[in-house]
Amino acid sequence: MTKFSHVIVRKPARSLIDGITSAPELGKPDYDLAVKQHDDYIAALKQCGVDVTELPALEEYPDSCFVEDPAVITRMGAIITNPGAESRNGEKMEIEPAIRQFFDDEHIKRIEFPGTLEGGDVMMVGDHFYVGRSARTNEEGIRQFCEILEGWGLEGSEVPLEYVLHLKTGVNYLEDGNMLVSGEFVTKPDFQQYNLIEIPEDEAYAANCIWVNGTVIVPEGYPAVLKAVQDAGYKTLVVDTSEYRKLDGGLSCLSLRF
C-alpha cells in the first residue's frame, strides 16, 4: 500500500476571490476564512504523519492554491502538466522549483502542447492511473501522460467525463479496494471491480475525500459521507473547505501527496 511522506501545498493568495468558478451563486470566498481553513488543512495533514512544504502565495494566479493541477507525482517521478485553463497555465512554471527539491531532471517529465492535462483529472490506484478526459484534459495530454507512465513501468487509462469538472470531483480512491463514487461514476464500467461507496446526490461534493496514511480527511458538513467512510473502517479527520468549494475546489485539489 502507498504511504505518503511528503505533501506540497501553496498558501492562498488574496486574489483567490477572483478564482475560476462554475458556481457563482455560492458567492465569493472570504479570504481570511480561506486562510484559516488552509491552516486547519495543513494541521490535519501533519496529524497523518507527513512533512508539509508550504509554498508562498502567488497573487498573479488566483487559483494557485490548488497545487494538484500543475503537477502529478508518482512513485517513479513527477510530471509537470499543461493546465487546460488558460488563466492557470503559468502555474506549471511556478510549481517546478518545489518539485526539483525532491526529483532530479531524469525523474521530471512534461506534458507538451497541444496536449493539456490537469492533476485533478488523475486518480492513482496503486500503479494504475485513471485519467479523466474533460474540458481541461484532452486526448493528446492523456496520450503523452500514459506514454510517460509506461516508460516508468506504470500504466494509465482514459475515463471520458460527461458532467463534472475533473475526474476527482466525483470519484476518489481510499486504498484497500474502496472507492467513493457519485453521479456519473456510480455506473462507469472502469470502476466496477472496486468496492464502491456511493455518495448521496445531496452530498456529492464530499466524494472528494483524501486518504493519507490510513486516515481519510473528509470535508465538514457531510454527515452521510463521514459515516460511510467510518463504516468502511477508516479513521477520519474533518476539515472545513467551504471557501474552496466556491471555486470548484476540494480537499484533493489543495495538495500534492507523495
Question: Would you please indicate which residues are annotated as catalytic (active-site) residues?
Answer: 166, 253
CB atoms within 10 A of CB 147: 11
- List b or e across 54-88, with b for residues whose CB sees 16 or more CB atoms inside 10 angstroms: ebebbeebbbbbbbbbbbbbbebbbbbbbbbeeeb
Q: Which residues have a Cβ under 8 Å from the Cβ of 24 and sit 6 or more positions away?
A: none
CA distance 53 to 46: 11
Nine-digit cell string for 154: 506504470
Nine-digit cell string for 253: 485539489
Query: What are the distances in angstroms from CA 210 to CA 28, 82, 143?
Result: 25, 23, 26
Query: What are the distances in angstroms from CA 241 to CA 71, 150, 189, 198?
Result: 22, 35, 30, 21
CA distance 80 to 150: 16
CA distance 117 to 139: 9
197 SS3 class: strand
CA distance 27 to 17: 9
